[in-house]
Structure 1
């Protein structure tokens, strides 16, 4: 099995066990020595967690294969270790051959391995994290289980095609940007904001800003990371007002005179930030009555044309621009004629 994408190693039993075995005999001699070496990890790696991870990693391949999609999480490992103690690996191997894991939650698979009836989890389970979903989709492509998002959604009834498309887009963000949120919960909403930022200011600029943040490590909240990516300085008290003129919307920035030197920035940068804001406003304003379905509507083709040119200048491909703006590649090519890709 593959490690759980976007999950801290201390909460990924198989990745933790793999790390332990890779250093056994060289970096550490015992499990206790490994736990001491893992002291820098967050969340903390305990003796019991490492022991469970090692136990689970030694399960027969047919048993591990049942969790290829559902995943083996920190809590999953606790239950699997109990099953090994109660039944032994041979019994679990035999039971695994008669289980079809498609569409099952990990707790249901555990129940079947325990010889009980599979029951859906009592509590509402969070939707699969975007990076985890994207990793599973790409793994399915490599293994030939599906060839596109359409066939993947058909093969996995629990997957939503729209969520899958968002997850893939989020997973394609620059590595440096994703690293900023390694120890935080990267949700679909947060990921969508980051994707819009990349589209507005360009991948190279977003990557450069992320590298700058990574180069000055300190504890930051998610909002603080986003603020730094947008070059916002909330501690300096900038006042922003938006009013409607006769023919246009007017954005007014009010900055104390003694701070203007630090806050003045290029018009291109401000334009990109305003563009992101307007995209969000239009996106939310045209929400469907069903909160699970949102229709993104643009003002007119002039808006799309301007954004397409910005995205082209930022190095985005015709295919990516067409997908983001819901137009054909031919239309994008016509709008951006004369610009360098």
Structure 2
């Protein structure tokens, strides 16, 4: 039988202590995280850590849970590990920086201990359990350039086909308690698992690189545009942030849009102003101060917003709102 490093089962712990013991257990085996759950008063969970040399396999089941590894916690402790999880049942979402990806049954997702991340996991049915199979590996033993691993962090990878399906099958088999495994098998299984992880990462990077350059550029532009639309309210939104979220340089971002009718900065500004212009005349927002409307669309300073609005539309935000209100009242005056 393969050696278990640790085994946590909530039913072995008094109900009032279960959630805190679970948090401590994860901090010892992985890295410090803040945890939130609606079931913390009587938390149900089970986790085994099976050692395979430098690697470890993590069969886990737990109630609805949010894992939050903040920048502060990363600074406090970073074991420089990579964690790949196979969703067996349930689903959820992972968010890192300004990006987010959802996961469902038989998806694989990758996190690294050096990158802040928030993972929300939910069972398929209320009151049920999320089930996952994880494998943790030191980044130093992965025989790929560091940038290759970084490119798959946060991405949703398939556990139904290709190298992902082979990895899913191996994790499923290795996680089972079986007398068919002997301690001497661990080093051999470590090699097999590391090869499968390497193949998965390389396959994901190759699939991206195999697309024609024109297709890659077009898809990247679509992702950039979607990202900008989703983050217009963020006052920090700028080319540097957009480039960082997509793992490209600012120079490449600008080159990506050099044939477009407007630059990234112009696109952000136009969309923010258009959104603010709509909100200023929205009947549901008539009582909202102009400065608050500006803040809703990422403008920190009222004066900057007013100047930009006047340049774009030939009048101040207040004048635009007043003119619209006057036009709305004219039909009433005519009918009387």
TM-score (norm 2): 0.28
Of Structure 1 and Structure 2, the greater helix share is in: 1
Structure with the bigger RCO (C-alpha within 8 Å, sep 6+) is: 2
